[in-house]
Amino acid sequence: MSTREIRALVLSVGADALCVHLNPAMELVQPGGDRDFSGGLDTIARVVNELDVPVVVKETGCGISPAVARRLRAVGVAHVDVSGAGGTSWVGVETKRAASAGDDASRSLGEAFWDWGIPTAASVALLAPLGFDTIVATGGIGTGLDVARAIALGANAAGLARPVLRALVSGGRGACAAFLRGVETELRAAMLLTGSRDLRGLRDARRVLEGQLNGWIEQLGPSGNGDILIP
């Protein structure tokens, strides 16, 4: 689409921002998916520089690596949604669709790459020093304490969908509202217990990184070996 067409679409729906999805893994598995990713970075640069609304670059369940993030920053991207591994696997969704369509090759590829990606927590922590205005943590966020962890790792905001939808389905609007109040209560409690007056204070709180998360950060951080991923 031309920038003019995108601008018209944004205006027609009154959008406050445009989300551009990075979804190569799910496209590879999707029957009939798009296999041509050439010019992707140039396209992102174009819409960032020519649109009048913020552009959010969002993964779809595989996380954003530091190498990709640095390339995005270089073309002016200021807002990212890491959508890391650990939540809904859209590779898994496409694998199910491939199985239903009888596409055994796509189903087999999807089963091999079902859990591919950088975990949400690691992606947030690795992108935090790179100078983005906004980092949104999505992918496996299910509680207010998860939101607090994401903020402490460097996110500006967090998003959760599956538990909200489950609450809505099981108990309607009231249950959904009650669940979200619980998320807020947990976040506020975590802020109090870490001495964080506001979200900026929580972002600056001391944290302890253990186990696999620490390993991800050590290997993909500035002193690591880059973005080679071997699950």
pLDDT for res 230: 40
Inside any domain, residue 226: no
Cα–Cα distances (Å) from 211 to 53, 215, 216, in that order, read 40, 6, 9
3: in domain: no
pLDDT in tens, 168-183: 999 999 999 999 999 9
Structure tokens at 138: 């999505």
Confidence of residue 221 (pLDDT cuts 50, 70, 90): confident
**Residues 188-202, buried b or exposed e (16+ Cβ, 10 A)?**
eebbeeeebeebeeb
Q: Mean per-residue pLDDT for 199-223?
A: 89
Q: State the total domains in the chain.
A: 1
pLDDT band at 223 (very low <50, low <70, confident <90, very high): low
DSSP string, 118-175: -BHHHHHHHHGGG--SEEEE-SS--SHHHHHHHHHHT-SEE---HHHHHHHHHHHHHH
Mean pLDDT of the chain: 93
Query: Which CATH number covers residue 106?
Result: 3.20.20.70
Closest to 25 (Cα-Cα) out of 75, 80, 85: 85
Q: What is the mean pLDDT of residues 148-152?
A: 97
Residue 118 has what pLDDT? 96
pLDDT of residue 53: 96
pLDDT surpassing 70 at residue 227: no
- Percent of the chain residues past pLDDT 70, beyond the cut: 96
| Residues spanned by the domain of 100 | 15-220
Token look-up 């199910």 returns 96
Q: Residue 79 and residue 229: Cα distance in Å, rounded?
A: 24
